[in-house]
C-alpha cells in the first residue's frame, strides 16, 4: 500500500502565472482535501473532493480550483498567482465521506514560492 | 466564524517531563478532534483523536481530554523524549467535514 504522494516537491513561479499541483491518494481512498499552510501557521482548508465532485470549500477565491480523477488522483490549480500564495500546499486523502471521523492521511506537500 | 486557538505557540521541556498543549474552539457543530504531529519537511501525521461523545482517550504516552461544554481540549505527552520534538496541531471537524487547524505548538524536548 502506497501513501499519499505529491508533485512537484518545490516550485517557483512569478506573479500572474498559473500553477498546477498534483496529488496521488492512498490506495482505496475516494476523498481528497487540499490545504494551504503558510510559514509558521496551521493548514487552512481550501476544498474537498469526493468521487470527482467538490464536496466543500473554504474561504479561498475562485482562482483556486481543483479536479479529482476517476482513479482518485487530484490536481490543485491556482490562476493569477499572488505573492501571498507562497506556501506549502498539502493534500490529504481519506476513505469515504458521510462521517467526520475518517482519518486523513497527508502527503509531504509542495512548497510554492511566488516571486 | 469558526476558529481554533492553540496555546502555547512554543514549549520547551526537559526529557522525561510532561508537555501539555491546549486548544479552544468556537464551532458548536464540531464533533471530532484530531491532533497532528508535523516534522520538518513532512505533512501532518495523526497521533491521536477523540470524538465528541468521549471525555478522555489515552494511547501509551499520549492522552487527550475534551470538555465540550467549555469548548476546549488538551493534549498531554508524558515522559517526553527528544524524538517528540516537532510541531503539534490541534484541529476540529464539524458536520461540513471541514477541518479547522490551530496555529500549532513547536515542542522542544531537551536531552
What's the DSSP call for residue A80? S
How many residues would you count in chain A?
Answer: 115
The answer to whether B46 contacts A55, with C-beta atoms less than 8 Å apart, is no
Residue B1 has a pLDDT of: 62
Closest C-alpha among A71, A65, A106 to residue A88: A106
Among A56-70, A80-94, A95-109, which stretch is predicted with the lowest mean pLDDT? A95-109
The cell numbers describing A97, all together, are 465521506
Which residue numbers in chain B have pLDDT < 50? none
Q: How far apart are CA B68 and CA A1, in angstroms?
A: 37
Look at residue B44 in the predicted model and tell me its pLDDT. Answer: 96
pLDDT for residue A1 is more than 70: no
Whether residue B98 and residue A107 make contact (CB cut-off 8 A), yes or no, is no
Which residue in A has a C-alpha nearest to residue B30's C-alpha?
A100
Across chain A, mean pLDDT equals: 92
> Do A101 and B49 count as a contact with CB atoms less than 8 A apart?
yes
CB contact under 8 A, B43 and A108: yes
pLDDT band at residue A97 using 50, 70 and 90 as cut-offs: low
Is residue B82 helix, strand or coil? Answer: helix
Q: Are B104 and B41 in contact (CB under 8 A)?
A: no
On the CB side of B37, CA atoms within 13 Å amount to: 12
- For B69, residues 6+ apart whose C-beta sits below 8 A from its C-beta are none
pLDDT score of A2: 67
**For residue B102, what are the CA distances in angstroms to A50, B19, B23?**
25, 17, 7
pLDDT at A71 (0 to 100): 87
For chain B positions 48-107, those within 8 Å of chain A (CB to CB) are: 49, 51, 89, 91, 93-104
Task: Classify burial at B66, counting beta carbons within 10 Å of its beta carbon; exposed 0-12, middle 13-18, buried 19 or more.
Answer: buried
What pLDDT sits at residue B54? 83
What is the mean pLDDT of the segment spanning A94-104? 74
Check the CA dihedral A89-A61-B103-B55 and report its sign: negative
Q: What are B106's three cell numbers?
A: 513547536
Phi-psi region of B79 (alpha: psi -120 to 50; beta: other; left: phi over 0): left
So what's the pLDDT on residue B95? 66
pLDDT band of residue A102 (cuts 50, 70, 90) is: confident
In chain A, what percentage of residues exceed pLDDT 70? 95
Amino acid at each position: 500500500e502506497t501513501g499519499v504522494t505529491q508533485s512537484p516537491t518545490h516550485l517557483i513561479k512569478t506573479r500572474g502565472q498559473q500553477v498546477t499541483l498534483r496529488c496521488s491518494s492512498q490506495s482505496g481512498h475516494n476523498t481528497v482535501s487540499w490545504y494551504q499552510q503558510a510559514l509558521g501557521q496551521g493548514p487552512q482548508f481550501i476544498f474537498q473532493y469526493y468521487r470527482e465532485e467538490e464536496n466543500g470549500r473554504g474561504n479561498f477565491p475562485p482562482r483556486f480550483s481543483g479536479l479529482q480523477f476517476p482513479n482518485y488522483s487530484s490536481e490543485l490549480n491556482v490562476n493569477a498567482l499572488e505573492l501571498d500564495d507562497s506556501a506549502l500546499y498539502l493534500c490529504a486523502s481519506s476513505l469515504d465521506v458521510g462521517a467526520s471521523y475518517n482519518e486523513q492521511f497527508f502527503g509531504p506537500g509542495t512548497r510554492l514560492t511566488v516571486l | 466564524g469558526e476558529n481554533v486557538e492553540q496555546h502555547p505557540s512554543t514549549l520547551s521541556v526537559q526529557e522525561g517531563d510532561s508537555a501539555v498543549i491546549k486548544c479552544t474552539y468556537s464551532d458548536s457543530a464540531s464533533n471530532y478532534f484530531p491532533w497532528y504531529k508535523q516534522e520538518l519537511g513532512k505533512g501532518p501525521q495523526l497521533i491521536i483523536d477523540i470524538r465528541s461523545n468521549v471525555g478522555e482517550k489515552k494511547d501509551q504516552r499520549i492522552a487527550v481530554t475534551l470538555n465540550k461544554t467549555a469548548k476546549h481540549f488538551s493534549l498531554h505527552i508524558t515522559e517526553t523524549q527528544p524524538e517528540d520534538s516537532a510541531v503539534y496541531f490541534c484541529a476540529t471537524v464539524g458536520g461540513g467535514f471541514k477541518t479547522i487547524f490551530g496555529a500549532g505548538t513547536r515542542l522542544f524536548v531537551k536531552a
